[in-house]
Copies of this chain bind each other. A is one copy, B any other.
Amino acid sequence: MINQTIEQLLSHYSVRAFKDKALTESEIRLLVESAQAASTSNFVQAYSIIGVSDKKIRRELAQIAGGMDYVETTGQFFVFTADLNRNKSIAESKGANPASLDTTEKWLVAVIDAALAAQNMAIAAESLGLGICYIGGIRNNIKQVSDLLEIPDHAMPLFGLTIGYPEQNSAPKPRMPYELVYHENRYQQKEEGLYQAYDETISKYYTDRTGGVRSETWTEQIAKGMEHATRLDMKDFIESKKLGLK
């Protein structure tokens, strides 16, 4: 049943080393059009894609993301942006009152629209032999990123997507077992014992890849990650953009 497309999906890994070679305009256009082909809620197409080729802006974004040099040297750096500003402008040009503009529902639609489009772009890129990596790190200073990219009210940057010619081969990182992510008919609280084999898999994965420097299990990683509340400016930032106010 597995075909070439599914084989590609299952072979995904993030790439964090790229040749310093820009994507061509036609590559960028094909990637953006592939992104646009994704489903969009009620056809609102409530996102924008900002392609950052300017190395100076890239450098600033790389620093914000935590010193990720490959944001600077990748083929193209895309910032996926939830965008209700476009629809607001359209509504106003028609004399309509955009009453839904600041609702949490519309904001959620824009976030989901943007993410579906991004994943289409990621898959299109990988089908062309390019490597990809999502960069949530732009949310380390979301206001600075928003200002840098001159993103207006009613819109906000969500994450970056680096796409370029890979200088690295890797292998997929094993995901949690199907039984843990899938629920039949109703949400089931999963038994702790189900994590044990997976924890061993992940511990071995890190041990093998780091020569023993890292060896934590998945549940250890999760527990640690949950302890630190980060990016606590997010709620205020979203509201400052007049999104999700009601």
Contact = CB atoms under 8 A, between A and B. Distances in A.
Interface of A: 1-6, 8-12, 14, 26-30, 32-45, 47-54, 57, 81, 86-91, 93-94, 96-101, 103-105, 108-109, 111-112, 115-116, 118-120, 122-124, 127-128, 132-134, 136, 139, 149-152, 155, 158-159, 172-173, 175-176, 178, 180-187, 189-190, 192, 195, 218-232, 234-235, 238, 244, 246
B227 A91 contact: yes
Given A3-B128, A134-B41, A150 B96 contact: no
A53 B51 CA distance: 42
14 contacts: A1-B128, A3-B128, A9-B34, A48-B187, A49-B182, A50-B183, A50-B185, A51-B182, A54-B185, A90-B219, A94-B219, A103-B234, A149-B185, A235-B246
Contact of A124 (B5, B139, B158, B222): B5
B45 A229 contact: no
Nearest to A113: B115
B5 A181 contact: no
A47 B97 contact: no
A6 B32 contact: no
A87 to B, nearest CB: 5
A226 B34 contact: no
Contact of A190 (B45, B86, B187): B86
B173 A43 contact: yes
Nearest to A175: B36
A8 B3 CA distance: 13
Nearest to A109: B136
Contact of A172 (B37, B98, B116): B37
Nearest to A172: B37
Contacts of A189: 89, 152
Contacts of A96: 223-224, 226-227
A229 B99 contact: yes
A187 B91 contact: no
Given A9-B34, A34-B10, A112-B111, A127 B3 contact: yes
Contact of A94 (B5, B97, B120, B223): B223
B226 A183 contact: no
A167 to B, nearest CB: 19
A51 B103 contact: no
